[in-house]
Amino acid sequence: MIEVKKILFPIDFFENSPKILPYVKFMAEKMGAKIELIHVVRGAGDYAGFELGIAWYSSLKEDLIGGAEKAMSRFVDEYMSDIKDVKTIVEVGDIAEKIIDYANKNGIDMIIMGTHGRKGLEQIMFGSVATGVVRDATCPVITINPYKVNL
């Protein structure tokens, strides 16, 4: 029998996360699963080669983490006040890798995430997080294109 007790919802704090959340809530309710949110702050390696580089990143790392934690709290307060026991985590590093690592280490049964979070030059520079997660995750991954949902 298939049991889904933990759903991981990676969020980026852009306008796309609230569009995907109703699907996450629906699946959690139907499966009796808990929802865990993860946000990954890009690591210093993503900025190597840029003019400001790693030294700039090092001085702002704690501010980025603190800002992400505050944004996570606001997201939960604004969009998930009807959900009990939402677990949140902020990680630093390669986004797809951290999502997969967290899922593996914490017994996540399913990942539900958006696609097309970035477009144009950002997509080319950073690649597709959703593609990396789908390719390497050891649990099922549901992807939702936030530009195609009608809510």
**Structural domains in the chain, sorted by start:** 6-144 (3.40.50.620)
Taking alpha carbons only, the member of 102, 136, 74, 146 closest to residue 6 is: 102
| pLDDT digit string, tens, across residues 39-90 | 999 876 555 555 555 555 566 777 888 899 999 999 999 999 999 889 999 9
DSSP tag of 14: S
| DSSP conformation class of 18 | H
Ordered strands of the 141-144 beta sheet? 87-93, 34-42, 6-10, 110-114, 141-144
Query: pLDDT tens digits for 43-55?
Result: 765 555 555 555 5
Q: Rounded to a whole number, what is the distance in angstroms from the first to the last CA of the chain?
A: 32
Taking alpha carbons only, the member of 128, 84, 105 closest to residue 38 is: 105
